[in-house]
Structure 1
Amino acid sequence: MEVREDFMDESTLSMMEVREDFMVSPIGDSEPSLRTAYFLKPLAKSLDGSVSEVLSSSKTMQLPPVFEPKEWPLVVHFKGWPKLKRKWVEWVDALQVRYGSVWKKVGIFDAIMSTKCSIVKDENLCFGVAEKWCPKTNTFLFPWGEATITLEDVMVLGAYPLVGDPIFTPLQSQEMIEVEKKLIHARQQPLRKNGAKVTTSLWMNLFLNSGSEIEHEAFLATWLTMVGFSHNGLMSKFVFPIAIHLARGNSIALGPAVLASIYKDLSLLKKTIVDFTNDKLELEVTLLSPFYLVQIWVWERFMNLQPQPMLINQEDPMLFRWHKVNTLKIDNVRLALDSAMEHFRWRPYVQYAGKFKVFYPENETLVLIDTNLDKEPTGLLVSFVTCLRVSVLVGIQSTIKKYLPHRVAMQFGMDQDVPGRVPTFHGTEAIAWKNYCRTISDRSLYFPARLFEGDVTTRYAMWWKQSVLCRHHDFAKNIVQRKRSLRPPPHGPHVLKANKKGYDADVPPGFSHLKTAPSGNSGEDNGEPLMGGLEEDFGDANGRKESRLSSESCSCASGIKVKYLEQRINRLETVIKKLKIEKFGHS
């Protein structure tokens, strides 16, 4: 079956649109201002027709009137939520010495090391955010805006590679096929002896410290099964070819498959909650994806729901921030999410600019794209560009999910306009993969300054009000004057030239192809800050105030503090003005 041309035509055009428009703050505390804005495509051409049908349809998915998951007789099995086992940690440490360089080459080193973390599960939080899921858009719909887990989150939090060959890549040599046969034979032994299910624990017992010639492949197969690359949570033949490729240094794009499985599980959990409400009792559901990333996503972005993270070193995987961190006691997750407009962080990872310099430049930057840039398999810039464009994700068992970053452009520091509709994808996984890794057609790409936060167009504010906010509050009435921080400089963005020649001493590995144009400044950090640094005072869901330490440069800390104080001052001025009007009839 061929993929519909309208899907391909919409998504293969340029990724960004630049134009002047009237913009307002997403939290509704600014007057409309005319300025140059940067949007992710496709965008809706008008507000007429079916542009808001998807959001409107989400209202028909009736949820329980009261959020009380503890009272639900619902059992959820989180198969992709690894339990920390001493044997597994021992295996990781033993093989890291021998194969760590291979893991780094194929981009899975941090992802493997992250399995040494123990993430404390908060089922109420998982249920609460799943209630907000819209399966038609693969986004969360909150009263105050639309957000989602993106490829950026999978890449930064889970450390899964976004570029490489697809997960369904066949084995290419007789030697690889022979290794697969040995793995299949090892899997059949316990089945033949006593019919035992081949769990990851049983598999580890077979290969840990065995000295087997296929131990590395067996280890990688165990890891893939632990993080959701199995259709039933048991050792599956499906993961063997992937493990064999990775063991030989062949890069596999695991990120899109991970995200597709998360989208699938969020839709399954949302449907289960809705069906339960409508007396269609499904008392048990199994989630196979690494669903802990959903919980970490909430912790990274919702400051009112975030427990105290760990301080980590720059070389540590991001997940180490949440190792054995205790969850917050939240009385009503639904209420906390609905009222989190001013607590939501659109760009939480900018504080880690020392780790992702080009992704989060100090100053806004225009990158000129080399025509061959998309063919560089290890290019981190290509990975980030992939996060920004509409595509199709291929997961296990031929799961295919649409990826719609244009609906959540503010998560990338872009401005938000009414998103255009992307037709349903009809095609094979091979066609879907071709769409995912298509050539970058833009001649240049804009990257906002890392402290910049996007706005929404006035028509988006009107559309959101008509689509969602009519049941919550009047967005338009909340628009008041606000100072805008980090506006684009008058001389325009700094320019970087994408070039595969030469190396820069100040550019981290993977970014050696970026060269600073003679007339521009790269805007990169001068220092290499550790994770953590900023002191942030805020109240959590229990009303407790804490002072958090994250590591960032002084300029970043002062910039965020100034912006935070400006926002607080403007909100206080608005409250005082309203009180004066109510009491005296004037301001």
Structure 2
Amino acid sequence: MSEPSERMMESREEVMVSPVRDSSPTVRIAHFLKPSVPFNDPLVYDNPSSYLPSPSIFDAKKGRLTVKFSGWPFPPRKWIQWVDSMHSTYQSLWKKVDIYEAIMGTKFHFLKDEELIFGIAERWCSETNTFLFPWAEATITLEDMMILGGYPVLGDSVHRPLETQELKKIEEKLILGRQETLRTTSRKACIHPWMTIFMNSGREIEHEAFLVAWLSIFVFPRKSFLVRTIVFPIAIHLARGTPIALAPAVLASIYRDLSMLKQTIVDLTRNVVDVSCEEHLQLELRSPFYLLQIWVWERLVVLQPKPKVINHGSPLIGRWHRVKALKIGDVRSVIDSTMDDFVWRPYAIFASKHRLFFASNSMWVPLDHTLDKEILAFIICMRIAELVGLDCIENYLPHRVSMQFGIDQDIPGSVTRINETRETAWNYYIRPIFDRKVYIPSRFFEPDVTTRYVEWWKESVLGHQDPVKNLVQRKRSPRTSKKRSNDANSPPGFPPNHRKSSSFWSSSCFLLEGSESNQIGVFPSPFATGKTDVSVANGADIFAEKENVIEYVGPKCDMKSKELSSFALATDHGTIGQVDLQMNPLVEIESETSMAGLQEAGEKVNGNQGSQQSSLARDRVNLSWIEEDNSYAFDMFVADLENRISKVERVLAELKQ
């Protein structure tokens, strides 16, 4: 277990640069996920074997490898009918336990691109569970499981037993139902006869049987889609309204399969595996690997086909229903050249679905018993953990990919595994949170890396190759990086309508924690104003001139505290037991968009809703701040408009120069 001194985040003044090639060094207050390598420690340049790419470009056919994607099902028509028939009765319960989008997402079908999967798998490092790109690390995270997959991060373990006799009797009925499937012609406990037995049967355990089918086909599948008895307790708990943390279990299975695939690729390209010309090596991947392909599409713009427009309230993953992959000749070289087009926070464009985490302003969120459920879920996504799956335990290291959460990146420190037993690993996942407050960045903020991170990355991962050559030759664009277009209808050099803007204005304000009074305030940046006087109190940097403090009270959460009973917050005086979600969190906001935006937020807090004369830039900020329940199409329109305006400005600047 972690010690009480463990903290998840830290803030300090650093020299920062962009992870792409268009930034000048900037001295500012940066925020980091811990642990990072201390400054007084010598930098040891490790070269784990997994860091090295495959010795040659892998060809699945030449490599004589057949991969069975058991977790990539085609949704049967009968299943879709069952979902529709259960929807009206159980949708409120599904939303209560946070599996509604995961279930509704099973109605979609995703076309497989094996070349893309093999290409991205070559970049996998099984020692860190991250992809190693020429410019930085990235990985599929719990945030992706929650937003893309619709799986809950909070809840009890997937191994929670059935405690009461009532629940055990339900399990016995499910076992009897499974035995019925064995008497069919297939003589196997297959899903199709299971659905025939229970679908619209009116049995008292039909909902549990439905959830068993969902878990067996889409969440924890095995070959031939057999009914799995190991998921019976999970289905029973969910049917009774008990939240189960499916996200860490699903992500653990994806990590496991990625490591298996990467090792197989390495062995085949190095001729470690003895396979004759007539034979094929069989490899079964049982995790929902389609989530990996969609993760790539969401972040690597050059590999992204045109997504579909979805209705407000539809699962985000529906954008990729039956979307055909782009025909890419050499996926590996395209991935290596996509530095300027990597999207660190693709879901920020859909801010209306996650208002608190993808807010317009940066903020410090106090971690007390009034913490909102949504914020707690994203905090869990940002801290190191052990992921307990049905049959595996994988380490989770978000501090290595902090830019995916809008947090700056420093050299990641080493983490000791706590996975002796399944119970020990799970207790580490639900350990108390010891931070007094957590920094949540603005959805418009572009995170950077420290200069020592650049040097470390070159030395430890890329050797003598320089992935950030000419790093400081060109100043970063004020809002967005260039995007490559696959839409013939778009003007040359401009993105098609479905592209998203990935960045906005830089910050001119910083939020710093106070000293003994523990006050939080918004301070003008000395690097923007020319003022450099800084006072230090109790290890925290305090700027001398303090501006107005903006406070924001978050929306009331109606989730009962018992639903998050596995998680606890901690203070210096001990653990606060259950999380009370009936109260509103008090949030202090830090503007990282513009001073005009800060002024507007202050006017709203003081009740001044009067109109202000604004410039074109101010209008653009206000437009992007709209937070009503708009459709995804409107969110994408706003971001696209920002992107196109930025393109015009850059083209004009280049022509003038």
Query: Is TM-score (shorter-chain normalized) higher than 0.5?
Result: yes
8 A contact 1:465–1:474 mirrored in 2: yes
Given the superposition, is the C-alpha separation of residues 502 and 276 from structure 1 closer, same or farther in structure 2, using an over 3 Å criterion?
A: closer
1:72 to 2:143 alignment: no
Counterpart Cα distance in 2 of 1:224 and 1:501: 28
Counterpart Cα distance in 1 of 2:395 and 2:432: 18
Listed as ranges, the gaps of 5+ residues in structure 1 are 504-509, 535-549, 578-587
SS in 2 for 1:21: strand
1:531 to 2:632 alignment: yes
Using the TM superposition, give the Cα deviation of residue 210 of structure 1 relative to its aligned residue in structure 2, in angstroms.
2.0
Q: Which amino acid aligns with 2:254?
A: I
Q: Which amino acid aligns with 1:416?
A: Q
Give deviations 1:377-403, integer Å, cap 9, x for gaps. xx1111111111111111012x11111
Given the superposition, is the C-alpha separation of residues 412 and 511 from structure 1 closer, same or farther in structure 2, using an over 3 Å criterion?
A: farther
Structure 1 stretch displaced more, 479-488 or 360-369 = 479-488
Counterpart Cα distance in 1 of 2:120 and 2:649: 30
1:489 to 2:509 alignment: yes
Aligned to 1:320: 318
8 A contact 1:67–1:332 mirrored in 2: no
Using the TM superposition, give the Cα deviation of residue 276 of structure 1 relative to its aligned residue in structure 2, in angstroms.
1.4
Aligned to 1:352: 350
Counterpart Cα distance in 2 of 1:442 and 1:357: 22
8 A contact 2:142–2:251 mirrored in 1: yes
From 322, 332, 337, the counterpart of 2:330: 332
Q: Which amino acid aligns with 1:370?
A: D
From 141, 164, 180, the counterpart of 1:150: 141
Give deviations 1:412-439, integer Å, cap 9, x for gaps. 1110000001123342111211111122
8 A contact 2:5–2:434 mirrored in 1: yes
1:252 to 2:244 alignment: yes
From 430, 437, 450, the counterpart of 2:423: 430
Counterpart Cα distance in 2 of 1:143 and 1:73: 28
8 A contact 1:24–1:455 mirrored in 2: yes
Equivalent residue runs for 1:144-293 within 5 Å: 144-191=135-182, 196-230=187-221, 232=223, 233-279=225-271, 280=273, 281=275, 283-293=281-291
8 A contact 1:16–1:39 mirrored in 2: yes
1:479 to 2:472 alignment: yes
User: Percent same amino acid at aligned positions?
Assistant: 45
Counterpart Cα distance in 2 of 1:532 and 1:301: 19
Using the TM superposition, give the Cα deviation of residue 218 of structure 1 relative to its aligned residue in structure 2, in angstroms.
0.7
SS in 2 for 1:127: helix
8 A contact 1:365–1:496 mirrored in 2: no
Aligned to 2:115: 124
Using the TM superposition, give the Cα deviation of residue 486 of structure 1 relative to its aligned residue in structure 2, in angstroms.
2.3
SS in 1 for 2:258: helix
Aligned to 2:518: none
From 3, 10, 18, the counterpart of 2:11: 18
Q: Which amino acid aligns with 1:246?
A: L
Using the TM superposition, give the Cα deviation of residue 98 of structure 1 relative to its aligned residue in structure 2, in angstroms.
1.5
8 A contact 2:558–2:582 mirrored in 1: no
Give deviations 1:443-499, integer Å, cap 9, x for gaps. 111111111110000000110111233354352543224145321426348544579
8 A contact 2:58–2:269 mirrored in 1: no
Counterpart Cα distance in 2 of 1:457 and 1:565: 31
1:298 to 2:296 alignment: yes
> Which structure is higher in RCO with an 8 Å CA cutoff and minimum separation 6?
1
Q: Which amino acid aligns with 2:217?
A: M
Counterpart Cα distance in 1 of 2:315 and 2:558: 29
8 A contact 2:418–2:428 mirrored in 1: no
SS in 1 for 2:353: coil
Counterpart Cα distance in 2 of 1:568 and 1:18: 36
Counterpart Cα distance in 2 of 1:199 and 1:488: 60
SS in 1 for 2:182: helix
Listed as ranges, the gaps of 5+ residues in structure 2 are 479-504, 511-521, 524-548, 560-580, 590-600, 606-621
Structure 1 stretch displaced more, 469-478 or 99-108 = 469-478
Aligned to 2:384: 390
SS in 2 for 1:18: strand
Using the TM superposition, give the Cα deviation of residue 558 of structure 1 relative to its aligned residue in structure 2, in angstroms.
4.9
Give deviations 1:80-112, integer Å, cap 9, x for gaps. 112121100000000112211111111111100
Given the superposition, is the C-alpha separation of residues 159 and 88 from structure 1 closer, same or farther in structure 2, using an over 3 Å criterion?
A: same
Q: Which amino acid aligns with 2:270?
A: N
RMSD: 2.9
Given the superposition, is the C-alpha separation of residues 236 and 532 from structure 1 closer, same or farther in structure 2, using an over 3 Å criterion?
A: same
8 A contact 2:132–2:138 mirrored in 1: yes
Given the superposition, is the C-alpha separation of residues 565 and 66 from structure 1 closer, same or farther in structure 2, using an over 3 Å criterion?
A: farther
8 A contact 2:60–2:66 mirrored in 1: no
Using the TM superposition, give the Cα deviation of residue 16 of structure 1 relative to its aligned residue in structure 2, in angstroms.
0.8
SS in 2 for 1:172: coil
Using the TM superposition, give the Cα deviation of residue 72 of structure 1 relative to its aligned residue in structure 2, in angstroms.
3.3
Structure 1 stretch displaced more, 560-569 or 240-249 = 560-569
Given the superposition, is the C-alpha separation of residues 418 and 187 from structure 1 closer, same or farther in structure 2, using an over 3 Å criterion?
A: same
Using the TM superposition, give the Cα deviation of residue 230 of structure 1 relative to its aligned residue in structure 2, in angstroms.
4.5
Aligned residues: 536
Q: Which amino acid aligns with 2:633?
A: G
Given the superposition, is the C-alpha separation of residues 423 and 139 from structure 1 closer, same or farther in structure 2, using an over 3 Å criterion?
A: same
Counterpart Cα distance in 2 of 1:382 and 1:117: 29
Given the superposition, is the C-alpha separation of residues 526 and 133 from structure 1 closer, same or farther in structure 2, using an over 3 Å criterion?
A: closer
Counterpart Cα distance in 2 of 1:388 and 1:471: 31
Equivalent residue runs for 1:509-524 within 5 Å: 513-515=584-586
Counterpart Cα distance in 2 of 1:310 and 1:350: 18
Counterpart Cα distance in 1 of 2:74 and 2:184: 27
Give deviations 1:259-285, integer Å, cap 9, x for gaps. 111101111111111111122047111
